Structures are given as structure tokens and as C-alpha cells.
Amino acid sequence: MTDSKDPDTAAGETSEGSPSGISATDFVDIDDLTPAELQRVLDRAAAMKASEDGSRLSDVTLGMLFEKPSTRTRVSFETGMTQLGGHAMFLGPDDIQLGHGEPLRDTARVLGRYVDIVMARVFDHEDVVTLAEYADCPVINGLSDDAHPCQTLADLLTLQEHFDDDVSVAWIGDGNNVGQSFVLGAAMAGIDVTVATPAAYAMEDGVIERAGELGRAPTVTTDPEDAIAGADVVYTDVWVSMGQEDERERKLAAFDGFQVNEELLAGTDTKVMHCLPAHRGEEITDAVMESDRVLVWDQAENRLHAQKALIVELLAE
């Protein structure tokens, strides 16, 4: 977890009677929250989605740092800040060179004097860690090569909407950043997960161990059919992530048999999750994506509500 910091500027006002914010100052990975704080963010997100929480953040600026392009991350954060009464500032790779031209810690220090909160979507996870250490304001990990905790918030909100407390999920495919954050968040939420990946693309041992320490380590296998047996939900993601294009042919060969398709789902009522964008015909078929099994569009919408709730909680006094 990141160290706490004392912001030197007021972060805005929440609605009258709003309780104090969560204890975490930064959101670098999902377990920067305690399980109770995680549930609190999810409950606020659900209330915001139902228009039962009118929290507002007046005169608050979110600085959005993008090394990687994105549809959902940019639109959900920017729209969320507008709905909260604040402002989002997009800083793309042509606007700001993270770690180039000046040390990243200097950029972080300056940003912390200008904006009230930072969201960074980067390649190197250590860049988010550095931003969180040196920026004198909360920092949110919008995605790094190691973690995607904002997606996990949306995933858990989606599962909370569609299932009771007794739900099991099969993660099938690459043991990537999305999967790793989801396994940790699921452990915190008491959700049973089975992970099926090719041996060469397994999740990091440290992530599996952290999940166990958080309460519930996933079952690990290399057989997708074993993973999906009895699962309520199957979750997959792209096999070839941004920046891995030179590995494409090798990865496609390694993931043969891991596609979420009609054959794998036959005879089950299993729902399907995907964080998008989907490479239809690779990790998932077009037919599955267009079926009534998918919770994908709820996941995508819930990025907006979950991130609004997170921002309010991080900035609450």
C-alpha cells in the first residue's frame, strides 16, 4: 500500500452529511483499500448509479495522464468529473513526457500543486508508484502493465448487481494486469475464482500469494474446461495487449484452446465478462459477444459509476 499524504490544498466539498473519506490516499492497486473500504466504494457507486447519491465536487480538477490511448478510461473519467461538477484535464503523450525531459518525481511534485487529483494510464507500474509517492494529491492508477484496479471496481459492482454473495468466476486466458487486479479484488470480496492460463502466461506468484493473504487465493489450472465447470461467470481479456504486438504470433499459438466460444459454454448458463476492447475471433467469438450471456456492457457502464464513487471517497475530508 502507498504511504498516506497530507494534501496542501482543499479538494472540494462533498454533499452535506457525507461521511469522512476512505483512509487510502492513493489508489495504485485494489488492495490499497481495505475490504470494508472497497465495499463502501461499491455501495456509493451503486447509489450514484441509482441517483440516490448527489455528492458534488465543486472546483475540483482531475489531471489525466495518458501514455496509452483509451476509449473507456478517458470518457468515463472525463464524464464522471463533469457530472460531479469538476473538471478533467487530458494530458496525452504529446502533451507531457513522463520521465523524459525532467525526472518523473519533479513532474509529480508540480502536478500536485496544480490539480486536486491525478489519474495515470501508463506502461510501467513503477511510474504510478512514483507519481503517488511524490504528488501531494491522491493518485489513481488508470492502468499499468501490472494492475488495472479501476476495472476491478467496475467488475465487482457488476457482479454485485447480478448475483448474490455466492458467485464463482473463471478467469480464462492471459494472466495479465486486469486478471491480477481482479483476483485480488475478488479475494477481498469473498468471491471464488479459478484461473486458467497457459503455463507460460500465468499470473505472478506474488499476486496469488497476496490473494491468499487477503482471504481467498484462486484455484490455478491450465485447463479452461476445468475452470469453467460450475462457474457462474467466465471472464476473459485480450491475449495480445497494447505494446505486445511483436509477440502476437507466439501468443496466439500459446492460447490455442483458451477461446471463450460456444463450445466451451455449451450446456451451461454461464455469464460472460470482458473488460474491452475485445478482439473478436481471438479470445472470444463474435457470437458470444452478441449473446444474452454477456455482462460486458454493464461492466463498461460501471466504470463511470465506480470511478465517480472512488474520486468522491478519496477527496472527502
Q: Exactly one of 26, 31, 44, 121 is catalytic; name it.
A: 121
Is 40 tagged catalytic? no
The one catalytic residue among 53, 137, 146, 151 = 151
44 is catalytic: no
Q: How many CB atoms lie within 10 A of CB 6?
A: 6
Q: How many CB atoms lie within 10 A of CB 35?
A: 15
Look up 275 and say whether it is catalytic: yes
Q: Which of 44, 274, 293, 303 is catalytic?
A: 303
Q: How confident is the model at residue 95 (pLDDT cuts 50, 70, 90)?
A: confident
Residues tagged in the binding site annotation for L-ornithine: 177, 237, 241-242
pLDDT tens profile 209-243: 999 999 999 999 999 999 999 999 999 999 987 76
Sign of CA dihedral 86, 92, 94, 99: positive
**Of 13-17, 142-146, 189-193, 196-200, minimum mean pLDDT range:** 13-17
Crossing angle of the two packed helices 205-214 and 177-189, in degrees rounded to 10: 20
* 105 flagged as catalytic: no
Annotated binding site for carbamoyl phosphate: 70-73, 97, 121, 148-151, 275-276, 303
Residue 121: active-site member = yes
**What is the pTM for the complete model shown?**
0.93
Q: Comparing 26-148+303-315 with 151-241+249-300, is the CATH topology the same?
A: yes
Give the fold, CATH level 3, of 151-241+249-300.
Rossmann fold (3.40.50)
The domain locations on the chain are 26-148+303-315, 151-241+249-300
State residue 115's pLDDT score: 98
* Alpha helices per DSSP H over 50-167: 72-83, 104-114, 125-134, 149-162
Report pLDDT digits (tens) over 140-161.
999 999 999 999 999 999 999 9
**Which CATH architecture describes the domain 26-148+303-315?**
3-Layer(aba) Sandwich (3.40)
